[in-house]
Protein backbone atom coordinates (compact mmCIF):
# COMPACT_ATOMS: atom_id res chain seq x y z
CA UNK A 1 0.00 0.00 0.00
CA UNK A 2 1.50 3.38 -0.97
CA UNK A 3 1.39 6.51 1.13
CA UNK A 4 -1.54 8.07 -0.76
CA UNK A 5 -3.70 4.95 -0.24
CA UNK A 6 -2.81 4.85 3.44
CA UNK A 7 -3.73 8.49 3.82
CA UNK A 8 -7.08 7.88 2.07
CA UNK A 9 -7.84 4.90 4.34
CA UNK A 10 -7.02 6.91 7.44
CA UNK A 11 -9.27 9.75 6.25
CA UNK A 12 -12.09 7.26 5.58
CA UNK A 13 -11.70 5.69 9.02
CA UNK A 14 -11.69 9.09 10.67
CA UNK A 15 -14.81 10.08 8.75
CA UNK A 16 -16.52 6.83 9.76
CA UNK A 17 -15.70 7.34 13.42
CA UNK A 18 -17.09 10.89 13.28
CA UNK A 19 -20.33 9.90 11.59
CA UNK A 20 -20.92 6.78 13.67
CA UNK A 21 -21.59 3.20 12.63
CA UNK A 22 -22.69 2.55 9.09
CA UNK A 23 -26.49 2.22 8.81
CA UNK A 24 -27.83 -1.28 8.40
CA UNK A 25 -28.70 -2.15 4.81
CA UNK A 26 -32.50 -2.53 4.70
CA UNK A 27 -32.53 -4.13 1.25
CA UNK A 28 -33.00 -7.71 2.45
CA UNK A 29 -35.86 -6.72 4.75
CA UNK A 30 -37.60 -4.82 1.95
CA UNK A 31 -37.12 -7.73 -0.45
CA UNK A 32 -38.67 -10.01 2.15
CA UNK A 33 -41.61 -7.61 2.41
CA UNK A 34 -42.10 -7.76 -1.36
CA UNK A 35 -42.03 -11.57 -1.35
CA UNK A 36 -44.63 -11.64 1.43
CA UNK A 37 -46.66 -9.07 -0.50
CA UNK A 38 -46.69 -11.35 -3.56
CA UNK A 39 -47.80 -14.33 -1.45
CA UNK A 40 -50.56 -12.34 0.27
CA UNK A 41 -51.83 -10.85 -2.99
CA UNK A 42 -51.97 -14.23 -4.74
CA UNK A 43 -53.63 -15.88 -1.75
CA UNK A 44 -56.37 -13.24 -1.47
CA UNK A 45 -57.00 -13.13 -5.22
CA UNK A 46 -56.96 -16.90 -5.76
CA UNK A 47 -59.16 -17.60 -2.74
CA UNK A 48 -61.78 -15.08 -3.88
CA UNK A 49 -61.66 -16.48 -7.42
CA UNK A 50 -62.02 -20.10 -6.28
CA UNK A 51 -64.84 -19.42 -3.80
CA UNK A 52 -66.84 -17.25 -6.23
CA UNK A 53 -66.49 -19.78 -9.05
CA UNK A 54 -67.30 -22.73 -6.80
CA UNK A 55 -70.41 -20.96 -5.50
CA UNK A 56 -71.68 -20.32 -9.03
CA UNK A 57 -71.02 -23.91 -10.05
CA UNK A 58 -72.75 -25.30 -6.95
CA UNK A 59 -75.82 -23.14 -7.63
CA UNK A 60 -75.87 -24.01 -11.34
CA UNK A 61 -75.65 -20.30 -12.14
CA UNK A 62 -73.61 -20.59 -15.33
CA UNK A 63 -75.57 -20.44 -18.64
CA UNK A 64 -76.15 -23.74 -20.43
CA UNK A 65 -74.53 -22.72 -23.70
CA UNK A 66 -70.78 -22.22 -23.82
CA UNK A 67 -69.42 -18.69 -23.97
CA UNK A 68 -67.31 -19.06 -27.11
CA UNK A 69 -70.16 -20.40 -29.29
CA UNK A 70 -72.96 -18.37 -27.66
CA UNK A 71 -75.65 -16.65 -29.73
CA UNK A 72 -76.86 -13.16 -28.84
CA UNK A 73 -79.32 -14.37 -26.19
CA UNK A 74 -76.74 -16.59 -24.51
CA UNK A 75 -74.11 -13.84 -24.73
CA UNK A 76 -76.45 -11.51 -22.82
CA UNK A 77 -76.96 -14.23 -20.19
CA UNK A 78 -73.19 -14.67 -19.90
CA UNK A 79 -72.73 -10.92 -19.53
CA UNK A 80 -75.20 -10.71 -16.64
CA UNK A 81 -73.85 -13.85 -14.92
CA UNK A 82 -70.27 -12.60 -15.19
CA UNK A 83 -71.36 -9.26 -13.72
CA UNK A 84 -72.93 -11.11 -10.79
CA UNK A 85 -69.79 -13.26 -10.46
CA UNK A 86 -67.66 -10.10 -10.28
CA UNK A 87 -69.85 -8.73 -7.49
CA UNK A 88 -69.55 -12.00 -5.55
CA UNK A 89 -65.77 -12.00 -6.14
CA UNK A 90 -65.48 -8.47 -4.76
CA UNK A 91 -67.63 -9.25 -1.72
CA UNK A 92 -65.43 -12.24 -0.90
CA UNK A 93 -62.28 -10.17 -1.54
CA UNK A 94 -63.36 -7.44 0.93
CA UNK A 95 -64.48 -10.05 3.47
CA UNK A 96 -61.05 -11.70 3.23
CA UNK A 97 -59.35 -8.39 4.00
CA UNK A 98 -61.46 -8.04 7.15
CA UNK A 99 -60.85 -11.64 8.26
CA UNK A 100 -57.09 -11.43 7.65
CA UNK A 101 -56.89 -8.13 9.53
CA UNK A 102 -58.55 -9.51 12.68
CA UNK A 103 -55.59 -11.54 14.06
CA UNK A 104 -53.03 -8.76 13.47
CA UNK A 105 -52.48 -6.61 16.58
CA UNK A 106 -53.09 -2.92 15.96
CA UNK A 107 -49.69 -1.18 15.97
CA UNK A 108 -49.23 1.29 18.80
CA UNK A 109 -48.35 4.91 18.31
CA UNK A 110 -44.73 5.76 19.04
CA UNK A 111 -41.24 6.21 17.63
CA UNK A 112 -39.43 3.03 16.60
CA UNK A 113 -35.83 2.75 15.43
CA UNK A 114 -35.22 1.42 11.92
CA UNK A 115 -31.42 1.24 12.07
CA UNK A 116 -31.56 -2.05 13.98
CA UNK A 117 -31.13 -5.64 12.93
CA UNK A 118 -34.43 -6.76 14.48
CA UNK A 119 -37.20 -4.12 14.33
CA UNK A 120 -39.73 -3.67 17.09
CA UNK A 121 -42.79 -5.89 16.81
CA UNK A 122 -44.95 -2.79 16.33
CA UNK A 123 -43.12 -2.18 13.05
CA UNK A 124 -43.76 -5.78 12.04
CA UNK A 125 -47.47 -5.44 12.79
CA UNK A 126 -47.51 -2.24 10.75
CA UNK A 127 -45.89 -4.06 7.81
CA UNK A 128 -48.58 -6.75 7.91
CA UNK A 129 -51.32 -4.10 7.94
CA UNK A 130 -49.52 -2.42 5.03
CA UNK A 131 -49.71 -5.66 3.04
CA UNK A 132 -53.48 -5.73 3.40
CA UNK A 133 -53.74 -2.00 2.71
CA UNK A 134 -51.84 -2.46 -0.57
CA UNK A 135 -54.17 -5.33 -1.48
CA UNK A 136 -57.17 -3.09 -0.76
CA UNK A 137 -55.90 -0.01 -2.61
CA UNK A 138 -54.33 -1.89 -5.52
CA UNK A 139 -56.89 -4.64 -6.04
CA UNK A 140 -56.25 -6.53 -9.32
CA UNK A 141 -58.90 -7.18 -11.94
CA UNK A 142 -61.69 -8.08 -11.34
CA UNK A 143 -61.42 -6.34 -7.95
CA UNK A 144 -62.34 -2.92 -9.33
CA UNK A 145 -65.42 -2.77 -7.09
CA UNK A 146 -63.48 -3.22 -3.83
CA UNK A 147 -63.57 0.54 -3.16
CA UNK A 148 -67.32 0.71 -3.73
CA UNK A 149 -68.25 -2.30 -1.61
CA UNK A 150 -65.87 -1.33 1.20
CA UNK A 151 -67.70 2.01 1.46
CA UNK A 152 -71.25 0.66 1.24
CA UNK A 153 -73.27 -1.20 3.90
CA UNK A 154 -73.06 -3.88 5.11
CA UNK A 155 -69.32 -4.35 4.44
CA UNK A 156 -68.67 -0.73 5.44
CA UNK A 157 -69.81 -1.61 8.96
CA UNK A 158 -66.99 -4.19 9.13
CA UNK A 159 -64.26 -2.35 7.25
CA UNK A 160 -64.40 0.80 9.38
CA UNK A 161 -64.02 -0.72 12.87
CA UNK A 162 -61.78 -3.64 11.88
CA UNK A 163 -59.68 -2.46 8.96
CA UNK A 164 -60.01 1.32 9.03
CA UNK A 165 -60.03 4.14 8.53
CA UNK A 166 -62.68 5.14 11.04
CA UNK A 167 -64.65 7.44 8.78
CA UNK A 168 -68.09 9.00 8.78
CA UNK A 169 -67.70 10.24 5.19
CA UNK A 170 -68.01 8.72 1.74
CA UNK A 171 -65.86 9.52 -1.28
CA UNK A 172 -66.35 9.55 -5.04
CA UNK A 173 -62.80 8.34 -5.68
CA UNK A 174 -60.73 6.10 -3.45
CA UNK A 175 -58.22 8.18 -1.44
CA UNK A 176 -54.87 6.63 -0.66
CA UNK A 177 -55.32 6.23 3.10
CA UNK A 178 -52.31 4.29 4.33
CA UNK A 179 -52.04 3.19 7.96
CA UNK A 180 -55.87 3.13 8.02
CA UNK A 181 -55.86 2.06 11.68
CA UNK A 182 -54.28 5.44 12.57
CA UNK A 183 -56.52 7.71 10.48
CA UNK A 184 -59.85 9.17 11.63
CA UNK A 185 -62.17 11.09 9.29
CA UNK A 186 -65.25 13.04 10.37
CA UNK A 187 -68.51 13.86 8.59
CA UNK A 188 -68.88 15.61 5.23
CA UNK A 189 -65.18 15.38 4.42
CA UNK A 190 -64.14 15.68 0.76
CA UNK A 191 -60.81 14.09 -0.19
CA UNK A 192 -59.69 14.90 -3.71
CA UNK A 193 -58.25 12.71 -6.44
CA UNK A 194 -54.90 11.07 -5.74
CA UNK A 195 -54.62 12.53 -2.23
CA UNK A 196 -52.59 10.54 0.30
CA UNK A 197 -53.28 10.46 4.04
CA UNK A 198 -50.76 8.68 6.28
CA UNK A 199 -50.62 7.73 9.93
CA UNK A 200 -46.83 7.74 10.08
CA UNK A 201 -43.76 9.65 9.01
CA UNK A 202 -40.20 8.55 8.40
CA UNK A 203 -37.15 9.97 10.12
CA UNK A 204 -33.60 9.17 9.11
CA UNK A 205 -33.21 6.40 11.70
CA UNK A 206 -36.77 5.81 12.90
CA UNK A 207 -40.39 5.57 11.91
CA UNK A 208 -43.02 7.41 13.93
CA UNK A 209 -46.59 6.12 14.11
CA UNK A 210 -49.01 8.87 15.12
CA UNK A 211 -52.73 9.29 14.63
CA UNK A 212 -53.94 11.62 11.88
CA UNK A 213 -57.28 13.31 12.52
CA UNK A 214 -59.47 15.01 9.93
CA UNK A 215 -62.55 16.53 11.55
CA UNK A 216 -65.96 17.42 10.09
CA UNK A 217 -66.60 19.50 6.95
CA UNK A 218 -62.98 19.49 5.77
CA UNK A 219 -61.99 19.70 2.09
CA UNK A 220 -58.70 18.11 1.06
CA UNK A 221 -57.74 19.03 -2.51
CA UNK A 222 -56.41 16.70 -5.17
CA UNK A 223 -52.79 15.49 -5.00
CA UNK A 224 -52.48 16.56 -1.35
CA UNK A 225 -50.15 14.69 0.99
CA UNK A 226 -50.97 14.59 4.71
CA UNK A 227 -48.33 13.11 7.01
CA UNK A 228 -48.79 11.32 10.31
CA UNK A 229 -49.75 13.33 13.37
CA UNK A 230 -51.56 16.05 11.42
CA UNK A 231 -54.79 17.38 12.92
CA UNK A 232 -57.15 19.21 10.58
CA UNK A 233 -59.96 20.92 12.43
CA UNK A 234 -63.58 21.46 11.29
CA UNK A 235 -64.27 23.51 8.18
CA UNK A 236 -60.65 23.74 7.06
CA UNK A 237 -59.60 23.58 3.40
CA UNK A 238 -56.27 22.20 2.14
CA UNK A 239 -55.46 23.53 -1.33
CA UNK A 240 -54.65 21.15 -4.18
CA UNK A 241 -51.08 19.93 -4.40
CA UNK A 242 -50.21 20.86 -0.81
CA UNK A 243 -48.07 18.88 1.61
CA UNK A 244 -49.16 18.95 5.25
CA UNK A 245 -46.09 18.22 7.37
CA UNK A 246 -46.07 15.84 10.37
CA UNK A 247 -47.75 17.05 13.55
CA UNK A 248 -49.24 20.11 11.83
CA UNK A 249 -52.40 21.52 13.39
CA UNK A 250 -54.71 23.24 10.89
CA UNK A 251 -57.17 25.50 12.65
CA UNK A 252 -60.92 25.46 12.16
CA UNK A 253 -62.16 27.29 9.03
CA UNK A 254 -58.63 28.04 7.80
CA UNK A 255 -57.34 27.77 4.23
CA UNK A 256 -53.88 26.20 3.94
CA UNK A 257 -51.87 25.81 0.78
CA UNK A 258 -48.34 25.19 -0.42
CA UNK A 259 -45.33 22.94 -0.02
CA UNK A 260 -45.11 22.81 2.90
CA UNK A 261 -48.70 23.89 3.53
CA UNK A 262 -49.07 27.14 5.45
CA UNK A 263 -52.04 29.17 6.62
CA UNK A 264 -53.16 31.54 3.86
CA UNK A 265 -56.34 33.06 5.28
CA UNK A 266 -59.38 32.54 7.46
CA UNK A 267 -62.54 31.33 5.74
CA UNK A 268 -65.03 32.20 8.45
CA UNK A 269 -67.60 29.81 9.87
CA UNK A 270 -69.70 27.67 7.58
CA UNK A 271 -73.08 29.15 6.72
CA UNK A 272 -76.02 27.26 8.16
CA UNK A 273 -78.51 26.00 5.53
CA UNK A 274 -81.77 27.90 5.30
CA UNK A 275 -84.67 26.18 7.02
Facing residues of 177 across strands? 197
Side-chain half-sphere exposure of 47, counting CA atoms within 13 A: 15
Range of the domain at 249: 166-275
The rounded distance, in Å, linking the Cα atoms of 35 and 3 is 47
As for how many domains the chain has, the answer is 2
The CATH number of residue 205's host domain is: 2.160.10.10
| 180 shares its domain with 239 | yes
Domain boundary among the residues 110, 139, 164 is at: 164
Q: Helix, strand or coil for residue 55?
A: helix
Q: Looking at the domain assignment, is residue 258 inside a domain?
A: yes
Q: Block means of pLDDT (10 residues each) for the chain, length 275 residues?
A: 48 47 76 92 96 94 83 89 96 96 94 87 93 93 92 92 92 89 96 95 93 97 96 97 97 96 92 66
Q: Looking at the domain assignment, is residue 18 inside a domain?
A: no
CB 114 within 8 A of CB 33: no
Amino acid sequence: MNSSEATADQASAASGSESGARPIDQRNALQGFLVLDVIARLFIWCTAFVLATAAFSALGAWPQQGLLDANLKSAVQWGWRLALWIIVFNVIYVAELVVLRLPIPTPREGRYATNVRWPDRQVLWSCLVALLSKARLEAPFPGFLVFHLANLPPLRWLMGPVFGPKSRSCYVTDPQIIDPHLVSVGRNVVIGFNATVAGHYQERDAVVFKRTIIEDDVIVGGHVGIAGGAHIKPGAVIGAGSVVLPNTVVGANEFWWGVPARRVRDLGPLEQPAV
